[in-house]
Chains A and B, each alone.
Chain A
């Protein structure tokens, strides 16, 4: 069965410093992995996705993630945090090979950005 584990429930950074949100996955096949962001009182917005093409995936708002099969990781990074990045971030894996199936969410990481 597929699963994801987000290693930090809460991350706090200062504005202008790098962001690292950690995610490990478990999958019996080459997974499709996603990062979604949820701003307060808003829906879930796709940041980026990995679907077995390039291992370094670039997303919106300067975020990127690297798929590392040897480490079963898909960590989300951003070189310089902005106040508007404060939100909940979810690492997500597709439950089936073809992506048409359900998504399985991690527990979420709340990112706080201090001025």
Chain B
């Protein structure tokens, strides 16, 4: 069964460093999402992406964040200058069409020191 994959599974970085989290959505899916889950808190929406542009973003998704689909298969989340409070599990999700279901990747656990 097709699945969403994410790399790396874990990443440790120093505050102020840039990180890029990578996702490979299911191949025929058209809508892409990033969510995050800070330890002990609920899963929160960050951004959605369709037709090569951001369709919606949350208040969390400030200028330090960006997303890209550089090559038609990968979907990346970049954090330009990480802060301690960016430490979280980041989930990528994809959706084939608007009546379908979002499928989630296994997540990348980011730790900012």
Contact = CB atoms under 8 A, between A and B. Distances in A.
Contacts of A31: none
Interface string B72-113: 000000000000000000010101011111111111000000
Interface string A89-115: 010000100111111111110000000
B32 to A, nearest CB: 11
A47 to B, nearest CB: 11
A102 B56 contact: yes
Contact of A43 (B31, B42, B99, B105): B105
Contact of B45 (A45, A104, A106): A104
Contact of A99 (B44, B56, B98, B107): B98
A44 interface: yes
B43 interface: yes
Interface residues of A, number: 22
A106 B45 CA distance: 12
A84 to B, nearest CB: 18
A56 interface: no
Contacts of A45: 104
A105 B43 contact: yes
Interface of B: 4, 31, 33, 35, 42-45, 48, 50, 56, 58, 91, 93, 95, 97-107
Interface of A: 34, 36, 42-46, 49, 51, 90, 95, 98-108
Given A102-B33, A103-B93, 15 more contacts: A45-B104, A51-B99, A90-B43, A98-B98, A100-B50, A100-B95, A100-B98, A102-B48, A102-B56, A102-B58, A103-B43, A103-B45, A105-B43, A106-B42, A108-B42
